A and B are shown apart, each in its own frame.
Chain A
Amino acid sequence: MSLLNVDNLSVRIGGVTPVDGVSFSIDAGESFVLLGESGSGKSMTALAITRLLPSGGHITAGDILFDGQQLQFLPESGMRRLRGSGMAMIFQEPQTSLNPVMTIGEQIAEALPPGSSRAAQRAEVIRLLDEVGIPNPQTRLHSYPFELSGGQKQRAMIAQALAGQPKLLIADEPTTALDVTLQAQILELIRRLARERAMSLLMITHDLGVARHMADKVGIMYAGQLVETLPVGKGRGIEQAFHPYTLKLMDAVPNLNRAGARLAAIPGRVPPLDQPFHGCRFADRCEHAFSPCAGTPPAWTALGQGHAVRCHLTAVSDARSKPEKAVAATVIPPGQETVLKVRDLEVTFIQRTGQLFGKQRIRAVDGISFDLAGSETLALVGESGCGKTTAVKAILGLTPVTHGEVILDGQRVSGLSERQFKPHRKLAQIVFQDPYSSLNPRMRVGDILMEGMSALDVDAPSSREAAIASLLEKVGLPQDTAFKYPHEFSGGQRQRIAIARALAVKPRVLICDEPTSALDVSVQAQILNLLVDLQREEGLAMVFITHNLAAVGYLAHRVAVMKEGKIVETGATRDILTRPQHPYTQGLLAAVI
């Protein structure tokens, strides 16, 4: 008998239907992964099951049967008894999900079943902290969340979730906010605990790797609906999937095995959920769509043991053309002349300390050197806080350089004053990670693109309008974009605008600071492909900053791995990916799942 059975669940919140008719079941001890892009409704599904929907949200239809109880009719007090002891939850952001002014010991103790003595509670908390792998649990008990590292905080969250001996653990993107190396550890911990305690697991993720790693069964969500469920493991992978969306999603993920192959991008974007749908929700992005797709919502079709899909293609055996072979990307050879030369770059910040007028120096970038030729891409890989962003800001003259030199196109630019630097500014431009904060919400896209041209006096003023039009075409945006404001665009479109803005001044070096990590997988591929195309057309040299080694295989010529302000290993991409020398690089590679 299944522990949790969700049948035809629908949720409505403020005019939007983020979850629409979702059904699945989880057996005791089974781990089920809900996989989907942002806005697919996977988190809302989890919150609806625990009845913790944000204010304004409510369950409009469906049955939730948990451990023999109908949850949607349970009074709040009954639901409260179930939370913690029946089903516990871990959230994405350990940083904000713990109460900042209570010790973790207190917070875990709160989740223990009531009625035990203080001493017994204390012993239990220590045991739990020990179980999740926090060293020195006797003293850590008294720590406040801010005194723990990100990974330890997430471990404390897990300990808290385990405190009530739940039968079902719901984990909502538990590793997304963590560094790659930590991700693998936390996932392993959750898997081990679930196995040891015979606990069922409902895991929410956008990451195919996580799904492969954790799932007994995967449910793929798209635009508020479950489109496919299939069993994983025991020799069967997600590769068995049928739905075109699932297949595309797999091809869109940069992957070590397919390094060098062009990513399969899904055109368009996830449809907004404030409208009624008539056909398949994926139809207008699907290359196999045929006549019934637009008009009739597809029904579930069973394809095998536990494998079901919601797609019209199941009815016509041959409607789908042969799965296309991965297209090899034509990696163009790098040019000869060096456009960017960095030597012993060092950036230190001064921080106030406890002493009267006392100051302390923090070395963010500690003597890095590299060369970059025209049409070449260098990937700068490292975890958060390793100084990679500071390094590129220093190269662009946005942060003072403490020591060392930066030579752009033969000109030494480090140590120049703002006025002296200005003529060289058009040589190097930057694209940022967050597409939401990188565009001024109060400026029209046309003005945003114009700003650099007029500040750096690129092109004659009369020809700038035309230049903007051709830029928009180059990055694949319609012409009327110039008259709109940023909020009218999706994340991927905004990132295209940001790329156009950087290209507007015709730079020779383009620095991309994690340009795709805030985007959905299907959109990521679009942007990465665009960058490769632009490099070929414009002969751009690129510095590509990322924390994800898997992403670099296909677009970088060379890789430099950064740790604590230093470059610990550098070399050709193929060498680094296949024969990493430095233990840190090896660790990073091993963490890629």
Chain B
Amino acid sequence: MIRYFLRRLLYAFPILIGVNLITFFLFFVVNTPDNMARIHLGVKHVTPEAIEQWKAEHGYDKPLFFNPQQTGVQTVTDTLFVDRSVKLFAFQFGKADDGRDIARDIKTRMWPSLAIALPVFVIGLLANITAALLMVFYRGTRLEYAGVAGLIALMSISGLFYIIAGQYFIAKLWQWLPISGFDGGIDAIKFILLPAIVSVAAGIGSGARWYRTIFIEEIGKDYVRTARAKGLSELRVLFRHVLKNGMIPILTGAVVVLPLLFTGSLVTESFFGIPGLGSYTIDAIRSQDFAIVQAMVFLGSVLYIVGLLLTDLSYTLVDPRVRLT
């Protein structure tokens, strides 16, 4: 088991280096540090010295991938790429364009993100499974047919519509909940409720439909026939046999996104004015702050890899057939 995790961790490094290469390529090859300096300094102050100084200040004063002034290994290691990558691996994200410390921002902003994303995740999962089970229980009837049609209709509506409609009707017209904003402590609940309702509604179409397919596939298997031949009731067959098997792909599929809950949802957070990592990222994209975007990409990748590890781990917990070797 431990050996297994060691191997997976070793495998994670090349992936993260790959991620860095991609982001680095995207950010710096087209938009060179010189360009960035020019944009940030403004037209008036562009002098070669000023550019050099800006680059030195912001840590862009080394060649990108290859340093001809150095010798040996250092031609490759003493470069902006290695510099930045090493810092990222140590979770030193540096400063944003407005001078704020990115690492600290992330630390403070991940909790509001989690406060929204975790309830959405849990409620969504439960809602999807319940809806799917209901349809499976009533399979072959008109009720199921209507249910599937309803789910397809729900998943055909843009996620933005749920947010806009929810804000307009629930918050603005009926004034049941605040339209946006966030507060710490117990007050958070009233701010969390609306985004949670909206996100669950937006996700149930595709989610429940997918789970239904999983359950239906399980129901066609031989062991279900065996269970019925034993004289078990339909509910017992559904809950003891089908659910137990169907939960394996559902749970392990859900686990991979667990760590990513910290990074929040871009659109939801920005619509509801939640000071989380999602809105942080979206602001960074809009203001073209590459340092923040790069930090978030790296963080997202690390969390995804953690998610993959957790997926493997969760298999051993829910599926007796899987032993990690």
B-chain residues with CB within 8 Å of residue A97 when the two chains form the complex: 222-223, 225-226
Given A82-B231, A84-B230, A88-B229, A99:B3 Cβ within 8 A: no
Given A52-B229, A89-B229, A160-B230, A356:B223 Cβ within 8 A: no
Q: Does A164 contact B (CB under 8 A)?
A: yes
Binary A-proximity of B128-151 (CB < 8 A = 1, otherwise 0): 000000000000100000000000
A-chain residues with CB within 8 Å of residue B231 when the two chains form the complex: 80-85, 111, 164
Q: Which residue of chain A has the shortest Cβ distance to B232 in the bound complex?
A: A110
Given A99-B241, A101-B245, A110:B230 Cβ within 8 A: yes
A-B contact count (CB 8 A): 82
Contact A101 B320 (CB under 8 A): yes
Chain A interface category by residue count: 20 to 34
Instruction: Tell me the residues in window 192-234 of chain B with beta carbons closer than 8 Å to chain A beta carbons.
Output: 221-223, 225-233
Q: Does B244 contact A (CB under 8 A)?
A: yes
Instruction: Tell me the residues in window 57-104 of chain A with beta carbons closer than 8 Å to chain B beta carbons.
Output: 80-85, 88-89, 91, 93, 96-102
B-chain residues with CB within 8 Å of residue A101 when the two chains form the complex: 244-245, 248, 318-321
Contact B7 A99 (CB under 8 A): no
A354 to B324, CA, bound (A): 8
Contact B232 A80 (CB under 8 A): yes
B-chain residues with CB within 8 Å of residue A110 when the two chains form the complex: 227, 230, 232, 240
Q: Does A229 contact B (CB under 8 A)?
A: no
B238 to chain A, nearest CB (A): 13
Q: Does A355 contact B (CB under 8 A)?
A: yes
Contact B320 A50 (CB under 8 A): no
B-chain residues with CB within 8 Å of residue A357 when the two chains form the complex: 7
Given A83-B230, A85-B231, A99:B325 Cβ within 8 A: no
A4 to B226, CA, bound (A): 21
Q: Does A349 contact B (CB under 8 A)?
A: no
A-chain residues with CB within 8 Å of residue B4 when the two chains form the complex: 354
Contact A354 B325 (CB under 8 A): yes
A91 to B230, CA, bound (A): 12
Contact B244 A99 (CB under 8 A): yes
Given A80-B231, A85-B231, A111-B231, A98:B321 Cβ within 8 A: no
Q: Does A55 contact B (CB under 8 A)?
A: yes
A332 to chain B, nearest CB (A): 46
A80 to chain B, nearest CB (A): 5
A80 to B229, CA, bound (A): 8
Q: Which residue of chain A has the shortest Cβ distance to B6 in the bound complex?
A: A356
Q: Does A353 contact B (CB under 8 A)?
A: yes
Contact B321 A100 (CB under 8 A): yes
A356 to B5, CA, bound (A): 10
Instruction: Tell me the residues in window 160-188 of chain A with beta carbons closer than 8 Å to chain B beta carbons.
Output: 160, 163-164
B271 to chain A, nearest CB (A): 41
Q: Which residue of chain A has the shortest Cβ distance to B325 in the bound complex?
A: A354
Q: Does A436 contact B (CB under 8 A)?
A: no
Contact A144 B241 (CB under 8 A): no
A-chain residues with CB within 8 Å of residue B248 when the two chains form the complex: 101
Q: Does A157 contact B (CB under 8 A)?
A: yes
A-chain residues with CB within 8 Å of residue B320 when the two chains form the complex: 100-101, 144, 146
A20 to chain B, nearest CB (A): 23
Contact B229 A50 (CB under 8 A): yes
A-chain residues with CB within 8 Å of residue B233 when the two chains form the complex: 80
B-chain residues with CB within 8 Å of residue A100 when the two chains form the complex: 223, 245, 320-321
A568 to B59, CA, bound (A): 74
A100 to B319, CA, bound (A): 9
In-complex Cβ contact of A157 among B7, B226, B241, B244 (8 A) = B226
SS class, residues of chain B in contact with chain A:
helix
A52 to B225, CA, bound (A): 7
Most interface-central of B140, B223, B228, B232 (chain A CB within 10 A)? B223
Give the number of residues in B that approach A within 8 Å (Cβ atoms).
27
Contact A93 B232 (CB under 8 A): no
Contact B140 A55 (CB under 8 A): yes
A170 to chain B, nearest CB (A): 8
A281 to chain B, nearest CB (A): 28
A362 to chain B, nearest CB (A): 15
Contact B230 A96 (CB under 8 A): no
A-chain residues with CB within 8 Å of residue B3 when the two chains form the complex: 354-356
A372 to chain B, nearest CB (A): 41
Q: Which residue of chain B has the shortest Cβ distance to A77 in the bound complex?
A: B233
A-chain residues with CB within 8 Å of residue B140 when the two chains form the complex: 55
A82 to B225, CA, bound (A): 15
Q: Which residue of chain B has the shortest Cβ distance to A81 in the bound complex?
A: B231
A-chain residues with CB within 8 Å of residue B318 when the two chains form the complex: 101
A-chain residues with CB within 8 Å of residue B240 when the two chains form the complex: 102, 110
B314 to chain A, nearest CB (A): 14
Contact B222 A91 (CB under 8 A): yes
Most interface-central of B226, B227, B233 (chain A CB within 10 A)? B226
A160 to B225, CA, bound (A): 13
A357 to B6, CA, bound (A): 11
A111 to B227, CA, bound (A): 8
Instruction: Tell me the residues in window 27-56 of chain A with beta carbons closer than 8 Å to chain B beta carbons.
Output: 50, 52, 55
B-chain residues with CB within 8 Å of residue A81 when the two chains form the complex: 231
B-chain residues with CB within 8 Å of residue A160 when the two chains form the complex: 226, 230
Contact B223 A98 (CB under 8 A): yes
Contact B229 A99 (CB under 8 A): no
Instruction: Tell me the residues in window 308-325 of chain B with beta carbons closer than 8 Å to chain A beta carbons.
Output: 318-321, 325
Contact A111 B230 (CB under 8 A): yes
A164 to B232, CA, bound (A): 12
Contact A96 B7 (CB under 8 A): no
B88 to chain A, nearest CB (A): 26
Q: Which residue of chain B has the shortest Cβ distance to A95 in the bound complex?
A: B222
A144 to B245, CA, bound (A): 13
Contact A96 B222 (CB under 8 A): yes
A-chain residues with CB within 8 Å of residue B245 when the two chains form the complex: 99-101
B-chain residues with CB within 8 Å of residue A96 when the two chains form the complex: 221-223
Contact B228 A52 (CB under 8 A): yes
B244 to chain A, nearest CB (A): 5
Q: Which residue of chain A has the shortest Cβ distance to B318 in the bound complex?
A: A101
A164 to B228, CA, bound (A): 13
In-complex Cβ contact of B228 among A83, A102, A163, A352 (8 A) = A83
Contact A99 B230 (CB under 8 A): no
Contact A164 B230 (CB under 8 A): yes
A100 to B245, CA, bound (A): 8
A111 to B244, CA, bound (A): 18
Q: Which residue of chain A has the shortest Cβ distance to B4 in the bound complex?
A: A354
B223 to chain A, nearest CB (A): 4
A217 to B245, CA, bound (A): 40
Q: Which residue of chain B has the shortest Cβ distance to A96 in the bound complex?
A: B222
A-chain residues with CB within 8 Å of residue B230 when the two chains form the complex: 83-84, 88, 110-111, 160, 163-164
A493 to B29, CA, bound (A): 63
Q: Which residue of chain B has the shortest Cβ distance to A56 in the bound complex?
A: B140
Binary B-proximity of A259-300 (CB < 8 A = 1, otherwise 0): 000000000000000000000000000000000000000000
In-complex Cβ contact of B7 among A83, A111, A146, A356 (8 A) = A356
A85 to B231, CA, bound (A): 8
A111 to B233, CA, bound (A): 11
In-complex Cβ contact of A353 among B227, B321, B325 (8 A) = B325
B-chain residues with CB within 8 Å of residue A52 when the two chains form the complex: 225, 228-229
Binary A-proximity of B57-97 (CB < 8 A = 1, otherwise 0): 00000000000000000000000000000000000000000
Contact B321 A144 (CB under 8 A): yes
A-B contact pairs, 25 of them (CB 8 A): A52-B225, A80-B231, A84-B231, A88-B230, A91-B222, A96-B221, A97-B222, A98-B223, A98-B226, A99-B227, A99-B245, A101-B244, A101-B245, A101-B248, A102-B244, A110-B227, A110-B232, A111-B231, A144-B320, A144-B321, A146-B320, A163-B230, A354-B3, A355-B3, A356-B7
Beyond A83-B230, A97-B223, A163-B230: 6 further Cβ-contacts under 8 Å?
Answer: A80-B232, A83-B231, A99-B241, A100-B245, A101-B319, A354-B4
The 10 closest A-B pairs by CB, nearest first: A84-B231, A83-B231, A354-B325, A96-B222, A89-B229, A111-B230, A99-B223, A97-B222, A144-B320, A84-B230
- Please list the residues of chain B having a beta carbon within 8 angstroms of any beta carbon in chain A: 3-4, 6-7, 140, 221-223, 225-233, 240-241, 244-245, 248, 318-321, 325
